[in-house]
Amino acid sequence: MFDIGFWELLVVGVLALLILGPERLPGAMRSTINTIRSVRNVATGFKQEVEHQLRVHELHENLKKAEQQGLKNLSPELEQSVDELKKAAESVQEPYKKQ
């Protein structure tokens, strides 16, 4: 991620020790690590949400193409999208079926 070598890391560590002192350095390190983790989690969540939205958009476009063809003689990709959407619709309706 960062192109930091051993000597650069050592200089940063010594400077942090001199500036913060040995009492506050561990807390500052923990705080920095927690901040980095939270930023990574937010970035991962954003990436997953964008991928999900792109997939939904792709399925929507494939459904439009399938409807234009009258749901007949579909390419394997369009047929797979339609089947996936049918399964999703069935799974949503399943809790509401009367038994």
Please give the model's pTM, rounded to 2 decimal places.
Answer: 0.60
* Mean pLDDT calculated for residue range 24-46: 95
Radius of gyration in angstroms for the set of CA atoms belonging to the chain, rounded to a whole number: 26
Q: How far apart are the first and last CA of the chain?
A: 55
Above 70 in pLDDT, residue 35?
yes
Could you give the count of Cα atoms lying within 13 Å of 93 in the half-sphere of its Cβ? 8
Lowest mean pLDDT among 9-13, 60-64, 90-94: 90-94
* Mean pLDDT calculated for residue range 31-42: 96
Above 80 in pLDDT, residue 76?
yes
